[in-house]
Amino acid sequence: MKIQRIDHVGIIVDDLSYVKNFFIEFGLKELGETEVKGEWVEKIIGLDGVKETVAMLATQEGETMIELVKFHSPSDKSGVQYPLSNTLGIRHIAFAVEDIESIVAKAQKKGAALIGEIQNYKNMYKLCYIRGPEGIILELAEKIG
């Protein structure tokens, strides 16, 4: 038995179109979008009456995928959350990038916010956190040299 790789990261969203477009403009490519419902998915995720729209995105090389899911039913009554960076649970997605400053500027024009500052870590990486749509935290890492 062995784990081969992480296949994808799933993110539940409220405004699928907005979040999907943010990630596409961020640099990911759309692989497809489909409606999902039925007993088979209900048995997998442990919810009844499931109806959702799923959009799959990937890095340009296709090595990493993100699954964006909009639940039409059942819906989450608590709404979009904006957790702090230290809130327990899965908190961010990290991307290896080139030209971190221009990526941050482009993301800010689309509504993202720099959480702290871009920092140089031991002359090995430039690192920062940005908060994207619906509170999603992205870590950006640019290798130096």
Residue 16's identity, in one-letter code, is L
In CATH, which of 3.10.180.10, 3.40.50.2000, 3.10.310.30, 3.40.50.620 is domain 92-143?
3.10.180.10
* Residue 3 scores a pLDDT above 90: no
Domain residue ranges of the chain, discontinuous segments joined by +: 8-73, 92-143
Q: Which CATH class is domain 8-73?
A: alpha beta
* Residue 116 scores a pLDDT above 90: yes
The reply to whether 92-143 shares the fold of 8-73 is yes
* Residue 79 scores a pLDDT above 90: no
- pTM, two decimals, is 0.91
Residue 102's identity, in one-letter code, is S
Q: Which residues contact 132 (CB under 8 A, 6 or more apart)?
A: 19, 22, 26, 107, 111, 112, 138
